[in-house]
């Protein structure tokens, strides 16, 4: 399934009704970027800075996160609107530094594995205002060194992050602002409801979050998706406004049905609250963590993980 093996050829397609009944068109030849989770992870290296899309316990690329968990990767810097992605990577000892505005499971406000990592001093951390975090992604996306913001003045954000600098407006007002540095990412992992094999991604839920910026801020972006569809079918389930990930920013596409489990991925599925509660409880009980790890995290592939889920009473 490697991309290089495919020589793309143009093809004729029947267009959807809005383009005119039975209109036909030649769809441009596109590269095929399909990969497996393990092929994605084989392109990552120790010490990399990896951005993860989604928000809290919402539309997280969990099949890719689990592939990292079962790899030898270590010393990662993880950048995310954090949820169980950061929690699991901390619990598995993969994280050197976490960069976040918050880490939460939404229905369970505090992420227990992340809390343990912070309270035991196991990880380095960069904790920012969550709006300032958006500007770090935006600066990296636009290839500027920083974006200015008022957020952080007066709070302990500057004390917690002594590397942060302020800038003075060059205009008459002379206002002092915080310069949020670009979050340059070696790689980004995002999960989309639909995508084509060339890496055009579509979100069908209520919020894209910041996944487009993660894709633009990273040298390499790997997109997992509930379902790979032909390019000419991308408008079957959503309007043009849902096509927010462009293939010029993606490098690999992984088909992973239920790939965001146990986080939510509407409208395809909601959060698996019972599973999330079980996950959260493992932070208080080493035996429960061991059972959870061997049953779900050591599953050698996403397909095996789905089988383990099915076997769950």
Partner 1 sequence: MSSIAEATIDEICVVACAEAFRGDGEILCNPIGTVPIVGGRLARATFESDLVYTDTVAVLPANNFPVGNPDAPKVVESWVPYRTVFDIVWSGKRHVLMGASQIDQWGNQNIAAIGDFRQPKAQLLGLRGAPGNLVNHTTSYWVPNHSTRSFVASVDVVSGPGYDRMRELGSPSNRFHEVRRVVSNLGVFDFQTDDNRMRVASVHPGVTVEQVIEATAFELFGTDDVVETRLPSDEELHLIREVLDPGGARKAEFR
Q: Which of 118, 184, 227, 293 binds partner 1 (CB under 8 A)?
A: 118
274 makes contact with partner 1 (CB under 8 A) = no
Site size toward partner 1 (CB under 8 A) is 39
Options 156-164, 223-231, 248-256, 284-292: segment touching partner 1 (CB under 8 A): 156-164
120 makes contact with partner 1 (CB under 8 A) = yes
102 makes contact with partner 1 (CB under 8 A) = yes
Q: Which is nearer to partner 1, 36 or 126 (CB)?
A: 126
Options 22-30, 65-73, 125-133, 255-263: segment touching partner 1 (CB under 8 A): 125-133
Chain Cα centroid distance, residue 12: 33
Q: Which is nearer to partner 1, 172 or 287 (CB)?
A: 172
Contacts of 93 (CB under 8 A, 6+ apart): 74, 122
132 makes contact with partner 1 (CB under 8 A) = yes
- C-alpha distances in angstroms, 230 versus 169, 194, 257? 49, 10, 16
Sequence-ordered strand ranges (E) for 3-84: 11-14, 24-27, 49-52, 76-80
115 makes contact with partner 1 (CB under 8 A) = yes
- Minimum CB separation from partner 1 for residue 143, in Å? 19
d(CA 61, CA 263): 9
Contacts of 90 (CB under 8 A, 6+ apart): 98, 113, 114, 116, 117, 122, 123
Assess whether the previous peptide bond of 267 is cis (omega < 30° from 0).
yes
Six-digit token string for 296 = 């779900």
Options 7-15, 46-54, 205-213, 285-293: segment touching partner 1 (CB under 8 A): 205-213
The secondary structure element, H or E, covering residue 95 is strand 95-100
146 makes contact with partner 1 (CB under 8 A) = no
b/e 15-29 (16+ beta carbons within 10 angstroms → b): eeeeeeeeeeeeeee
Q: Which of 2, 131, 145, 230 binds partner 1 (CB under 8 A)?
A: 131
| 24 secondary structure, DSSP code | E
Options 1-9, 87-95, 124-132, 249-257: segment touching partner 1 (CB under 8 A): 124-132
- Minimum CB separation from partner 1 for residue 121, in Å? 4
* Binders in 232-261 for partner 1, by CB under 8 A: none
154 makes contact with partner 1 (CB under 8 A) = yes
Backbone angles phi, psi at 293, to 5 degrees: -65, -50
- C-alpha distances in angstroms, 266 versus 62, 78, 158? 15, 25, 36
121: left (phi over 0), alpha (psi -120 to 50) or beta: left
Q: Which is nearer to partner 1, 63 or 276 (CB)?
A: 276
Q: Which of 12, 156, 287, 310 binds partner 1 (CB under 8 A)?
A: 156
Q: Which of 9, 206, 287, 313 binds partner 1 (CB under 8 A)?
A: 206
- Minimum CB separation from partner 1 for residue 210, in Å? 7
Query: How many residues are given for the chain?
Result: 313
Using CB under 8 A, list all residues that contact partner 1.
55, 100-104, 109-110, 114-115, 118-121, 127-132, 134, 149-157, 160, 173, 175-176, 206-210
């Amino acid at each position: 399934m490697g991309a290089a093996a495919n020589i793309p050829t143009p093809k004729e397609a029947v267009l959807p009704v809005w383009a005119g009944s039975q209109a036909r068109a030649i769809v441009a030849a596109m590269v095929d970027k399909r990969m497996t989770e393990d092929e994605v992870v084989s392109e990552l290296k120790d010490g990399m800075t990896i951005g993860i899309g989604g928000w809290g316990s919402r539309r997280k690329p969990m099949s890719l996160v689990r592939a990292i968990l079962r790899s030898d990767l270590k010393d990662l810097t993880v950048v995310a609107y954090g949820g169980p992605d950061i929690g699991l990577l901390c619990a598995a000892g993969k994280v050197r530094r976490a960069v976040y505005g918050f880490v939460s499971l939404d229905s369970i406000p505090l992420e227990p594995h992340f809390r343990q990592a912070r309270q035991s001093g196991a990880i380095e951390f960069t904790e920012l205002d969550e709006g300032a975090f958006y500007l770090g992604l935006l600066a990296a996306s636009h290839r500027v060194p920083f974006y200015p913001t008022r957020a952080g003045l007066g709070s302990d954000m500057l004390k917690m992050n002594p590397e942060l600098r302020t800038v003075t407006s060059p205009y008459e007002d002379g206002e002092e602002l915080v310069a949020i540095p670009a979050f340059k990412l070696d790689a980004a992992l995002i999960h989309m409801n639909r995508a084509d094999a060339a890496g055009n991604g579509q979100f069908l839920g209520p919020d894209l979050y910041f996944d487009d910026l993660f894709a633009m801020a990273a040298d390499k972006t790997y997109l997992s998706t509930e379902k790979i569809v032909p390019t000419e079918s991308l408008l079957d389930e959503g309007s043009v406004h849902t096509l927010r990930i462009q293939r010029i920013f993606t490098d690999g596409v992984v088909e992973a049905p239920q790939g965001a489990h146990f986080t939510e991925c509407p409208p395809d599925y909601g959060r698996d609250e019972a599973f999330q509660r079980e996950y959260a409880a493992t932070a208080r009980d080493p035996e429960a963590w061991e059972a959870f790890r061997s049953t779900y995290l050591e599953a050698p592939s996403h397909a095996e993980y789905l089988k383990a889920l099915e076997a769950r009473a």
